[in-house]
Structure formats: C-alpha cells, structure tokens
Amino acid sequence: MISYQVVKLKVNFKTLEEFENFREYGQQELSMKEDLEDNIVENDSESPFYGVYYGNKLVGRMSLYQIDKKYDRYFDPPQDYYELWKLEVLPGYQGKGIGKTLVDFAKSLGLPVKTNARQRSDEFWHKQGFEALTYKTERDRGENPFVWFPTGVSEKKELS
C-alpha cells in the first residue's frame, strides 16, 4: 500500500479553491475565505486543516483543533484533547487508506481524540480504535461522540 503524507494546510486561495471539491463545505470555509479576502488573516496563515495530496490534488482532509483541558467534558483525568471534524476523502480516492492515514496522524499527537461520527460511520471509527461514548443529552445534543483513548485515559463518568 502506498504511504501518504499528511500536511498542515495553510489559508490561501489555492487551498480554499480545493476545499470546494469537498462535500462538507460550510461556514468554516466561507469564513476563512472572507478573512483572507478582507485581509483579516494573512496569506498562508495557519488553518486547523490537515490534508493529503495525490500529486498536486488535495484528495483528503480533516480539521483538528486542540481543546483546552478546562473545556474537557469527556476524559478522565481531564486533559487537553483534539477535536476532529470534516474528515473526508474525495470519491475516487476512497478505500486507499487515506482516511486512516489522517486519523493515525491525529492519534500520533499524544492526546485523546474526539469526533462526532456521521450516520453509518460507526464501523469506520471502530476500525480506527475509537469507542462510542455514553450519550448525554446536556453534553452531546444530537452528536454521536466517538473517542480514541491513549493509554491511561478513560471516559469521564459524571458530568461536571
């Protein structure tokens, strides 16, 4: 199997144009575009996105953001963790391990990882070593929270 490289994506017009190929395109992308157009952020500034290229084409991406321990409602002991969202591989590039490569990258950073699993994606997340959390209305509000625990970390049992 080919090995893919995960790169941190910069905010620039090329990246934003590539984002238009992805199904999950919303306020996050529009906001980055506006910030760039209005010079609120500089060209090539940091984005929360990581991507995988196939040649010159961005074919997979995810957003990954480190959440401060003080907002942690998922883990025991409470700690910084990564929220992962907008994981997506373009049609035609799926089934090649690109999604797994992105998730493995997130797991390699040494902190727990939390995601909101899309409908019918449970099998994928289980394969990546993630577990479904006990659903709590006041915390999860319709999310399907799946998490990956590094050694020594477990699910927080009570809501604070």
Applying CB under 8 A, among 3, 141, 152, 159 the residue interacting with a second copy is 141
- The residue among 159, 45, 32, 52 whose CA lies nearest residue 100 is 52
Note whether 28 binds a second copy by CB under 8 A: yes
d(CA 15, CA 51): 10
The two three-digit tokens of residue 133, written as one number: 């959390």
Looking at the DSSP bridge assignments, the partners of residue 59 are none
Closest to a second copy by CB, 23 or 151: 23
Looking at the DSSP bridge assignments, the partners of residue 67 are 81
Q: Which of positions 67-126 make contact with a second copy (CB under 8 A)?
A: 83, 85-86, 117, 119
Closest to a second copy by CB, 66 or 154: 66
Q: How far is the CB of 155 from a second copy (least distance, A)?
A: 13
Closest to a second copy by CB, 13 or 135: 135
Note whether 133 binds a second copy by CB under 8 A: yes
The two three-digit tokens of residue 41, written as one number: 């952020």
Applying CB under 8 A, among 142, 151, 157, 158 the residue interacting with a second copy is 142
Q: How far is the CB of 135 from a second copy (least distance, A)?
A: 4
Phi, psi values for residue 31, rounded to 5°:
-65, -40
What sign has the CA pseudo-torsion 14, 116, 106, 98?
A: negative
Note whether 145 binds a second copy by CB under 8 A: yes
Closest to a second copy by CB, 3 or 160: 160
- The residue among 79, 69, 149 whose CA lies nearest residue 114 is 149
Q: Determine the residue type at 74.
A: Y
Contacting residues toward a second copy, per CB under 8 A:
23-28, 30-31, 48, 63, 65, 83, 85-86, 117, 119, 132-135, 137-138, 140-145
